[in-house]
């Protein structure tokens, strides 16, 4: 495999730009859009998004095995990107531009198709990162660039509604701007990635594990168990705060006109701090860096409880930036840790199966997000919250509780799981040496 160069890292991170530009609206903007302007209601939208995410529980592992099993003459990964991108473009058009009103089946159908294609492209990209990196620190570098691309994508897609918001555009026009950004950016970055990122044309596909063997991957594999649990907790926490941010800004802090601009600062902070998290992981290790970042998120969220909502702008901006500083590191580091787990599995089984392992990781992430959006939106509707209506003090308190307290507990739980993580840099070096020795013997 070629040496990791800046163009390769940029192309790999570039693939994450449109995927994140789609992922952010799916969590933050599209649920309120379909619940409000499209007219489906908070409870209905929450259930549809939750079911669509649970659909991924079944499709992700299957897709992961397919991505590992069937290479092509172009390599192991490129053809899956080329197949997934057109489907994703079509589905995203119907999701971002639904017209004036649609029945629930419209959202359910196109959301299922979108998630299917989104998984194909996103899962292939994550597995590709294992192929182009070998060392412990290279993994942090590769997935750090992926997170930089993700945050840049989210900032870019946020810039459009922030500009439109300041010019008096309505919510539907803001959603349309996000859709156009994604539809333009995806084919451009995909083409750049396909041309620049190396792919192993000599790679042979791995065999399908039996369905009953998949749960056995977890048995006795403590690093995998910890990483999946951390991903689940962080994804749940991030999705809860993301899905309720618009309601928090508009109904609790009365900052609807500048909500997108404040959220932009959140992602800007995450982008600027990412090189620091990468460097810190080289020095103290991924698991300790993960502990620090999740604890920072938890502590920051706890401070929201004490804000005076009547004059909150300076404090809200400060906390948003601080939360953004902690935001990006957990998802970078869980993916870097998973790459090391793939190596350990290869040493044990003689099969390199990053597609399968990343499909399991994304499944846990999506389950956390599904439960978060479905349960939280259902709870808000049950509590009497109605988009577009004046919120009572009691409802405001419930929105603040959901946004801050629930994710605070989840992030704190994730930080506890980082303590005593087993697959350290030293152990990974031993695994790499054993793999190299076995490969030399086979050659």
The SS3 call for residue 72 is: strand
pLDDT, residue 91, reads: 96
Rounded mean pLDDT of 388-398? 79
**Bridge partner list, 72:** 75
Looking at 60-64, 204-208, 225-229, 270-274, which range is the least confident one? Answer: 204-208
Q: What is the pTM of this model?
A: 0.77
pLDDT, residue 184, reads: 94
Judge whether 50 and 148 are in contact, CB under 8 Å.
no
pLDDT, residue 213, reads: 66
Residue at 208 is within a domain: no
Report the mean per-residue pLDDT for the chain. Answer: 85
pLDDT, residue 214, reads: 66
Contacts of 181 (CB under 8 A, 6+ apart): 21, 156, 157, 160
- Please state, as a whole number, how many other Cβ atoms lie within 10 Å of the Cβ of residue 385: 22
pLDDT tens digits, residue range 80-97?
A: 999 999 999 999 999 999
pLDDT tens digits, residue range 132-160?
A: 877 777 888 888 898 889 888 888 887 77
Residue at 421 is within a domain: yes
Residue 107 banded pLDDT, cuts 50, 70, 90: very high
Residue from 320, 319, 328, 318 nearest 271 by CA: 328
**Residue 111 has which token pair?**
């959301």
Residue at 280 is within a domain: yes
Residue at 16 is within a domain: yes
pLDDT tens digits, residue range 216-234?
A: 777 778 999 999 999 999 9
Residue from 35, 28, 25, 34 nearest 389 by CA: 35
DSSP letter at 256 equals G
Rounded mean pLDDT of 5-27? 90
Residue at 399 is within a domain: yes
Residue at 266 is within a domain: yes
pLDDT tens digits, residue range 305-350?
A: 888 767 678 888 889 899 999 987 898 899 889 989 988 988 888 8
Q: What is the CATH number of the domain that holds 125?
A: 1.20.1250.20
Task: Give the domain range for residue 369.
Answer: 6-203+213-442
Residue at 344 is within a domain: yes
Q: How far apart are CA 291 and CA 285, in angstroms?
A: 10
Rounded mean pLDDT of 5-24? 91
Looking at 35-39, 95-99, 234-238, which range is the least confident one? Answer: 35-39
Q: How far apart are CA 39 and CA 391, in angstroms?
A: 19
Contacts of 174 (CB under 8 A, 6+ apart): 29, 160, 161, 164, 165, 260
Q: Is the pLDDT of residue 208 over 60?
A: no
Cα 31 to chain centroid, rounded: 17
Q: How far apart are CA 285 and CA 41, in angstroms?
A: 45
pLDDT tens digits, residue range 160-177?
A: 776 776 777 788 888 898
Residue at 1 is within a domain: no
pLDDT tens digits, residue range 300-314?
A: 999 988 887 676 788
What is the distance in angstroms between the CA of the first residue and the CA of the last residue of the chain?
16
DSSP 151-179: HHHHHHHHHHHHHHHHTT--HHHHHHHHH
Q: How many domains does the chain have?
A: 1
């Amino acid at each position: 495999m070629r040496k990791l160069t800046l163009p390769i890292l940029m192309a790999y991170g570039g693939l994450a730009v449109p995927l994140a530009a789609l992922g952010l609206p799916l969590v933050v903007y599209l649920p309120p859009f379909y619940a409000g302007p499209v007219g489906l209601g908070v409870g209905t939208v929450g259930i549809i998004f939750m079911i669509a995410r649970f659909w991924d529980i079944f499709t992700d592992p299957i897709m992961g095995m397919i991505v590992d099993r069937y290479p092509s003459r172009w390599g192991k990964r490129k053809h899956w990107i080329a197949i997934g991108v057109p489907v994703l473009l079509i589905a995203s058009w119907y999701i971002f531009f639904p017209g004036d009103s649609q029945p629930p089946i419209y959202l359910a159908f196109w959301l299922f198709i979108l998630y299917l294609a989104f998984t194909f492209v996103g899962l292939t990209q994550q597995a590709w990162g294992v192929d182009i990196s070998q060392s412990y620190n290279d993994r942090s570098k590769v997935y750090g660039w992926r997170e930089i691309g993700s945050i840049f994508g989210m900032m870019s897609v946020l810039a459009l509604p922030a500009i439109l918001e300041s010019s008096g555009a309505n919510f539907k026009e803001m959603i349309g701007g996000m859709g156009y950004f994604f539809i333009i950016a995806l084919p451009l970055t995909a083409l750049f990635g396909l041309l620049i990122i190396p792919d192993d044309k000599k790679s042979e596909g791995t065999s399908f594990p039996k369905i009953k063997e998949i749960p056995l991957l977890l048995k006795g594999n403590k690093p995998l168990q910890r990483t999946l649990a951390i991903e689940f907790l962080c994804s749940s926490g991030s999705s809860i705060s993301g899905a309720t941010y618009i309601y928090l800004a508009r109904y609790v802090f009365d900052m609807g006109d500048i909500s997108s601009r404040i959220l932009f600062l959140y992602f800007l902070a995450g982008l600027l701090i990412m090189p620091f998290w990468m460097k810190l992981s080289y020095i103290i290790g991924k698991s300790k860096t993960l502990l620090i970042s999740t604890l920072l998120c938890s502590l920051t969220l706890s401070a929201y409880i004490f804000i005076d909502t009547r004059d909150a702008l300076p404090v809200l901006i400060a906390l948003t930036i601080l939360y953004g500083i902690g935001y990006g590191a957990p998802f970078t580091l869980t993916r870097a840790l998973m790459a090391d787990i793939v190596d350990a599995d290869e040493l044990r089984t003689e099969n390199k199966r990053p597609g399968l392992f990343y499909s399991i990781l994304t499944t846990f992430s999506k389950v956390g997000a599904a439960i978060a959006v479905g349960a939280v939106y259902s709870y808000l509707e049950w509590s009497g919250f109605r988009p577009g209506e004046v919120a009572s003090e009691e409802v405001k308190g419930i929105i603040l509780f959901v946004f801050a307290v629930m994710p605070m507990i989840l992030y704190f739980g994730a930080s506890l799981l980082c303590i005593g993580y087993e697959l350290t840099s030293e152990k990974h070096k031993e695994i790499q040496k054993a793999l190299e020795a076995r490969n030399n013997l086979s050659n």
